[in-house]
Structure 1
Amino acid sequence: MRPDLVPVTRALLSVSDKTGLVDLATALAAMDIELVSTGGTAKALRDAGLAVRDVSELTNFPEMMDGRVKTLHPGVHGGLLALRDNDEHLAAMEAHGIAGIDLLVVNLYPFEATVAGGADYATCVENIDIGGPAMIRAAAKNHDFVNVVVDTADYAPLLAELEAGKGATTRGFRQKLAANAYARTAAYDAAVSGWMARAIGEEAPRRKAVAGTLAQTLRYGENPHQGAAFYTTGEARPGVATARQIQGKELSYNNINDTDAAFEAVAEFDAALGPACAIIKHANPCGVATGESLKAAYQAAFDCDRTSAFGGIIALNQTLDAETAAEIVRIFSEVVIAPDISDEAAAILAAKKNVRVLTTGGLPAPEAKGQVWKQVAGGYLVQDRDAGRVAMEDLKVVTRRKPSGEELSDMLFAWRVAKHVKSNAIVYARDGATVGIGAGQMSRVDSARIAARKGQDMAETLGLATSPTEGAVVASDAFFPFADGLMAAVAAGATAVIQPGGSMRDDEVIAAADEAGLAMVFTGMRHFRH
């Protein structure tokens, strides 16, 4: 039976990130733990006045090849891997002058940061750590006797453990450190392999790995009986994963999912071209609008479906101002997310303490490449993020009547919104605002009817004489397989249609549009969202 408490007498420290290094080493030295180190880490410790042995004293071999070779030696790995209760191991250590290492503190070359910084291929390769992962894996394997620390966040827990154990650590503590260490090397290898596959143009490599860092343990998942956690990948894309929360309760699983959907939707509208607002409920837009001001955009988005907007997620593409904040607090919202917020707006929202307020510092680029993962039984589906966009010149008019300039503008607006609505998606819009949204139906006809009914509800709520779908344009995320879906839009009063085209019955649908006097354009691109 191996011992629970194991004393720490010698520590090897070799870190790229020197945050907290001197404080940690000072505390270890105060416990009479011998310090061994390499290169720049050793220099930092000596500069702080600490006594430290060079790793070359353990290996009897100098560091070489610009530091590429320094710890890959039996003098190091023997000290990490030796079983302290194995007589043969102990005899080998004595015969070869190998000193035991009880604590390894390593953080790896900053490969991920180097890639994120846009470095060239050679520089990225040079930042692939070899010795560090090898030592980490060795120490983690021998966690019965060795502690391995790979995160600066574990410095304080380590010192607390050593203090409580009077210079020793418990097996349970070492096991947790080892598990975290293996996760770190796995994430590092995933980052390297993923980068290299991209660099050489391998779109579907034979093996693919993804890794994340725990950002938050969640109270539960979609439902209270489901456990959940939130992990970040390190991607710099502005959004819920990189946002700063300035007030409100912790985000829930559903909050995070819906907030991501909301911010991605509003990012379709360039802040430099004007204000925009998206209100999301259960990952679907219930209202999206542009406006002369942020307040006007919010009000138009809210008016699309005031009932569904209650308890929703509000996403804005510009700095949240006081005037807009005063409107937002008139109802309850779960989350408000924007690139930034004025001090006056923050003070207004502070009165609603339960509202979570996030700022991101920017908008995600809708056209930026990336990948989306979805788990299925026994595997993962991986696809490119839907970065597809169409411009005015991409539209093909297929009806006798050509759309007006106003209709074309609203068509492109509705098309961008439809991209973020669950399929089958139908979106009615006019004057840069949605006036009816049908989402997630098994039949496109049903989506068209639901969207039209939403328009009627909006008319009743606002006291309008007619439904705002009268004279609106309509966007369909995929082609109309039959003319019946189109006829539902005609019944709602739509005057122009934007859709991908590509159905076997396109001719029938075009003929029906001509007979109804509609203008219709094809995009040649669909936006299924499941």
Structure 2
Amino acid sequence: MARLALLSVSNKTGLIDLARSLVEEFDFDLISSGGTAQALKDAGLPVTKVADYTGSPEILGGRVKTLHPRIHGGILARRDVPQDITDLENNQIRPIDLVVVNLYPFEETIAKPGVTLSEAVEQIDIGGPAMLRASSKNFAHLTVLCDPAQYDEYLQELRRNNGKASLEFRQKAALKGFSHTASYDQAIAQALTCQFASYLTEAQQYTLSGTQLQSLRYGENPHQPAAWYQTDTTGWTTATKLQGKELSYNNLVDLEAARRIIAEFTDTPAATIIKHTNPCGTALGSSISEAYQKALNADAISAFGGIVALNRPIDAATARELTKTFLECVVAPACEAEAQEILAKKSNLRVLILPDLSSGSKEIIKAIAGGFLIQASDDIIADSSKWQVVTERQPTASELAELLFAWKVCKHLKSNAIVVTSDRATLGVGAGQMNRVGSVKIALEQAGEKAKGAILASDGFFPFDDSVRTAAAAGITAIVQPGGSLRDQDSIKAANELGLMMVLTGIRHFLH
């Protein structure tokens, strides 16, 4: 008797070629449900509909198709257990040798703008995961395939082994099946948790799974193995690499830091240059070329070997400027044809296109011994209308815009963070110091004479007035900081005494 294969797939990539080989090369009979059966029939392949095989029609608008003893009995039967074989014979159930299933596109659905809860719920597969789990459990007796990328490998396996799949292959395929259902369930649980509960305070379990996109050469250092995993269909998984070497672990970490900063700016051309996750230069300009040049001029020494993010397409003028400095990576929402030709002369420069630079993770996860921590992303939108001016001198509209720019950049520096800016460009950056006074001194020293008339932003409050006095001595005219210190009045008093303007945001942006 011919062997039996059950095919029920949402993603029909490679389906017809696989099915034809199963029938013509390896003498399989095919049973299938819904759209898969129709696709096979349209291709001229012999197929029995699941409803005809089970004698039970599809009901509830297709919600119930494969949940039937003739399906799951054929999948779960142990060929070396006499009672199982007897049960199959008594119930006229054929053993199933191959299950090909992939699941409704839940993650793709929830990624669409404006998708409703009811639309998302209808994309929660029931029969598919049940068949995947059952067939993965019974790997000793059948093969399960859940990814079109497995089809050719499976056919080659049959050709090598007289039409049979080895136990090793079946075990490997079963592991992929279990991983696929685990990832699918995790995506559903996470999405519905965000809908039904505060996942940071109410969720008692949090699972994380992903599919490996790339094995990386190494991690932060050569002795650390590393890999890149995809958790959904957004973000960097949608990026296109136009040229350059493979991305490294450090490249990806820095690119994400660059994306987070550039996502702060949408209305005006903006550029940022990242080194070790900190911006060494960030600027706005009337054009993307001007923005990049201003960012580069902020700290050209540190920019060497940096990561650049632009919030506008790369044009020819910007491309020519980019090729004047050694850079590791450049990311932008698009790249003009002429610019691409110019950049191609720097073959080692990695150029990535990420159309949506604003799409990022809604949570941040950090591993600790014995577990992990999770927090919501710091994606609060700065609103200067809610800031409190606490000094006698009031800000002008231009000063307020400069303070807002500096505040947005400061948010993405390692704490303790200080930024000095002027003309919507960074002049000095102090990050990651063990005390705020040290960060102030570094930022002011880097700004030098340009600090005169500039403004200063701090990611945390000033516990004493010493930083305010140091800033004033360097020529700073305005300060933006969160406030909240018991000694805020000391800083405010010093600012008034020295003629500075100071605003308190009421929001802190520590980044550890």
Give the structure-1-normalised TM-score. 0.92
Distance in structure 2 (CA, Å) of the matches to 1:489 and 1:163: 75
Q: Does 1:34 align with 2:18?
A: no
Which residue identity is paired with 1:248?
A: G
SS at match of 2:51: helix
Question: Is the CA contact (8 Å cut-off) linking 1:277 and 1:294 kept in structure 2?
Answer: yes
Q: Which amino acid aligns with 2:174?
A: A
Q: Which of 245, 259, 262 is matched with 1:249 structurally?
A: 245
CA distance in 2, matches of 1:439, 1:58: 68
**Equivalent residues of 1:8, 1:169 under 8 A apart:** no
CA contact (8 A) 2:454 2:476 kept: yes
Contact 2:108 2:233 in 1 (8 A): no
Q: Does 1:428 align with 2:405?
A: no
1:94 maps to amino acid = E
Q: Matches of 2:339 and 2:183 in 1, distance apart?
A: 40
Is 1:337 the counterpart of 2:335 in the alignment? Answer: no
Match of 1:79 among 74, 81, 87: 74
Classify the secondary structure of the residue corresponding to 2:128: helix
Q: Where does residue 462 of structure 1 map in the other structure?
A: none
**One-letter code of the match for 2:505?**
T
Moved more, 205-214 or 273-282: 205-214
* Post-superposition CA distance 1:169-221 (Å, at most 9, x none): 11221112111111111111112112222222333312222322222111111
Shift of the 8–428 alpha-carbon distance from structure 1 to 2, 3 Å rule, reads farther
SS in structure 2 of the partner of residue 25 of structure 1: helix
Inter-CA distance 8–362: structure 2 relative to 1 (3 Å threshold): farther
Once the 2 structures are TM-superposed, how far is the Cα of residue 383 of structure 1 from its aligned partner? Answer: 1.5
C-alpha separation between the residues in 1 aligned to 2:151 and 2:18?
Answer: 7
- Structure 1 residues 206 and 8 mapped into 2: Cα distance closer, same or farther (>3 Å)? farther
C-alpha contact (below 8 Å) 1:373/1:380 kept by paired residues? yes
Unaligned 5+ segments in structure 2 are none
**Which runs of 5 or more residues in structure 1 are unaligned?**
1-6, 457-466
Question: Does residue 528 in structure 1 map to residue 507 in structure 2?
Answer: no
1:295 aligned partner, one-letter code: S
- Among residues 463, 467, 474, which one is paired with 1:485 in the alignment? 467
CA distance in 2, matches of 1:104, 1:241: 29
Measured in 1, the distance between the counterparts of 2:49 and 2:286 equals 66
Deviations 1:288-324 (A, max 9, x none): 0011222221111111111110000011010111111
Instruction: Give the distance between the partners of 1:229 and 1:436, measured in 2 at CA.
Output: 35
TM-score, scaled relative to structure 2: 0.95
CA distance, structure 1, for counterparts of residue 62 and residue 312 of structure 2: 48
Alignment CA distance shift 1:135-1:527 (3 Å): same
1:468 to 425, 434, 450: 450
Change (3 A) 1:241 1:438: farther
Give 3-state SS (helix, strand or coil) of 1:169's partner.
Answer: coil
1:215 matched to 2:207:
no
Cα offsets for 1:222-268 (capped at 9, x unmatched): 111111111122253xx433211110111011101101111221121
Partner in structure 2 of residue 351 of structure 1: 345
For residues 241 and 42 of structure 1, do their structure 2 counterparts lie closer, same or farther at Cα, with a shift above 3 Å needed?
closer
Return the letter of the residue paired with 2:379. Answer: A
Report the CA distance between 1:8 and its aligned residue: 9.2
Aligned AA (1:43):
Q
Alignment coverage as a number of residue pairs:
508
Alpha-carbon distance in structure 2 between the residues aligned to 1:263 and 1:122: 32
Shift in Å at residue 529 of structure 1?
1.0
| Correspondence for 1:66 | 61
Counterpart CA distance in 1 for 2:502 and 2:189 is 46
Is the CA contact (8 Å cut-off) linking 1:428 and 1:437 kept in structure 2? yes
Match of 2:435 in 1: 443
* Match status 1:496 vs 2:478: yes
Alpha-carbon distance between aligned partners in 2 of 1:84 and 1:207, rounded to the nearest angstrom: 38
RMSD: 1.8
The equivalent of 1:506 in structure 2 is 488
Q: Report the counterpart of residue 309 of structure 1 in structure 2.
A: 303
